[in-house]
Amino acid sequence: MLRKLMPERASPMPGLPPHEVLDRAMKARLLELRKRLIDVAREVPISDAGLRQIRRGEYRPVPLTARGIDEALQWPPGTVDRIYDEGFDPLSDPALVALPPADSAPGAAAESEGLDEVRRLLDDAEETMRRIQERLGRPQRDRAQVLWELLRKEVEDSTSETESQ
């Protein structure tokens, strides 16, 4: 659920609207957690387009969505609301900047890096697939799309099995 962004209340930095503060903080936290925005969208749950609209400032997240973003980014409850309501900047809070990922068990980092590499390669392959499809005729494009979807599902299934172990 989204609601149109109300007039901005507070901003942690002069001239920087809350949605930009949220976007910067999300990007920084995603790097720490080794997640992608699509992972956050799935966990919230919200559509990719809905999350993009929030990040661009077209909408402010409703309380349930804000709570989902907090949980997906492993922030304390209410962090997203504080960004909009109080002008809070998570990047200026040393406790949040240094907040370790929940899965920071020994060996998890190496495994996570391997999964990140697989996801990055898959994203690169997806872009290559789009370019190939643009060059193919309709019947070949449909066949290529089916093959691509099968490959992507297989990789996602195998990475989710690895993550759950």
Reported as a pLDDT band with limits 50, 70 and 90, residue 53 is very high
Per cent of the chain over pLDDT 90 is: 41
Burial 94-121 (b: 16+ CB within 10 A, else e): eebeebebeeeeeeeeeebeeeeeebee
Query: Which contacts of 158-162 are long-range, i.e. CB under 8 A and separated by 24 or more positions?
Result: 159/115, 159/118, 159/119, 162/111, 162/115
pLDDT at 16: 85
Contacts of 36 (CB under 8 A, 6+ apart): 30, 119
Contact between residue 47 and residue 66 where contact means Cβ atoms under 8 Å apart: no
Residue 60 in 3-state DSSP?
A: strand
- Which of 21, 22, 51, 53 minimizes the C-alpha distance to 36? 51
Query: Worst-scoring range by mean pLDDT, 30-39, 78-87, 122-131, 155-164?
Result: 155-164
Question: What digits encode the pLDDT tens for the residues 77-118?
Answer: 999 999 999 999 998 887 776 566 665 544 555 556 666 777
Mean pLDDT of 29-53: 91
Say which residue the tokens 């898959």 belong to: 122
pLDDT at 87: 92
Number of H helices, E strands in the chain: 8, 2
Q: Is the pLDDT of residue 125 over 70?
A: yes
d(CA 17, CA 155): 38
d(CA 76, CA 78): 6
Query: Worst-scoring range by mean pLDDT, 17-21, 39-43, 113-117?
Result: 113-117
pTM metric for this prediction = 0.55
